[in-house]
Amino acid sequence: MKFPVAKTMILIGCVIIALIIGIAFFINTHKKNKYTFGIITNLEGKNPISAIDSYKAVKLAWKNFSQKYPDSFSLKFLALDNSHDPEKTKLAYEKIRDKCDFIMIATYSTAFMAIYDKVVQNSGMLHLLIGATATAFSKKDDNVIRGNLDMELEQKSIADFFNKKKVKKLLVIRENEKNIKYTQPALKYFSKYFKGDIIQSCFSAINLDLSKTLRNFKENNMLEYAYILSGATVREAGIIIQNMKRLNPQIVIVNTPWNSGPFLKETLGRYTDKVIVSSNISINSKAYRDFSSEFNKKFHHEPTYPAAPAYDMAYILFEAMLECGTDDAYALKKQILKKTYAGVSGRIKFDPYGDLAGRLYFYDLKGKEQVVY
């Protein structure tokens, strides 16, 4: 039986329309969501190496994640410089906030404080924080995940190190100008947990006049231990250590986590003996060694301290997005907080507020762990 031409054309038209609808439905259901990942950090200011490494680590995390989950979602990056300066941080955040789906901020406490109120007001967007630990924004039920210990836990870990060593008298050299919103409350927490006597000296990372600091050190040259309490002033801390080691090669000097990495070794030169760094990172673990090797192979240098936490924070976010299917801050934070992660930094768990839980590790500059627990 033959169909009339008109009916045949109608049938063919219906088939074509059905195919078009089917293809459109397939494309729509398999269409990747597109997101923009914003990063604010020190890309152009003084000593930018560590901050730039955190940006590189985020992009490396995305490369590895997207290779493992090629059908997950699309991502582009938008990075702006803040030079760790509060005013530049404000400008960068205003430029980037409406162009991104989530933002990582890798900076000092003082700089982050300048935009914290704006961050909280932008409640639908999740923010990842590296570096800043000031008490003003820890233990807050907000839209921030913090990739470092709460300041009190950080300083308690360092105080416990000295207590385990039975240190009775300690010289604390505190930076008192560039990042005072970190160092001032940090000293209060450290003093709360340290059981010995503290002799305090100060320096400015802005003008680096060490005359008073070294005079105080000479007056207390017989001390066995010192603690340099400063935030991300690696070069300045290294210069202070050099001068102290010339006067007393046997003194043990402990740094905050923010003064560490290959740049510290370069700054110290031959004055590396009995210099201890505290760290959130389990640097002797296989996961970190593999990460360090991959980073070195891709970027041709060892990763500096913020790189591993930045990698972990980004990868954890990507996994949460895959599991939630959304960029909503509340849903993502809820998903992130309920899990424990095996990151390149080590075991990662967040407290109910989004602060990193755990303790610090301590290493000499040869990588040998100082076991105190």
pLDDT, residue 150, reads 84
pLDDT, residue 8, reads 62
- Number of Cβ atoms within 10 Å of the Cβ of 198: 13
The tens place of each residue's pLDDT in the chain, 373 residues long, gives 555 656 566 666 665 665 555 554 444 444 579 999 999 999 999 889 999 999 999 999 999 999 999 999 999 999 999 999 999 999 999 999 999 999 999 998 889 999 999 999 999 999 999 988 877 788 889 999 999 888 899 999 999 999 999 999 999 999 988 888 889 999 999 999 999 999 999 888 888 877 788 887 888 777 899 999 998 788 889 999 998 999 999 999 999 998 887 788 888 988 999 999 999 999 889 999 999 999 999 999 999 989 999 999 999 999 999 999 999 999 999 999 999 999 999 999 999 999 999 889 999 987 677 655 4
pLDDT, residue 5, reads 58
- At residue 363, the 3 state secondary structure works out as strand
Which residues are CB-neighbours of 161 under 8 A, at least 6 positions away?
254, 276, 278, 360, 362, 370, 372
From 1.10.3470.10, 3.40.50.2000, 3.40.50.620, 3.40.50.2300, which CATH number describes the 33-150+284-356 domain?
Answer: 3.40.50.2300
Identify residue 255 by its one-letter amino acid code. Answer: N
pLDDT, residue 250, reads 93
pLDDT, residue 211, reads 79
Identify residue 132 by its one-letter amino acid code. Answer: A
pLDDT, residue 365, reads 83
CATH class of 153-281: alpha beta
pLDDT, residue 19, reads 59
Q: Where in the chain is the domain with CATH 3.40.50.2300?
A: 33-150+284-356, 153-281
Whole-angstrom CA distances from 38 to 19, 35, 99, 245 are 40, 10, 8, 42
Residue 73 φ/ψ region, left for φ over 0, alpha for ψ in the -120 to 50 degree band, beta for the rest: beta
pTM: 0.84
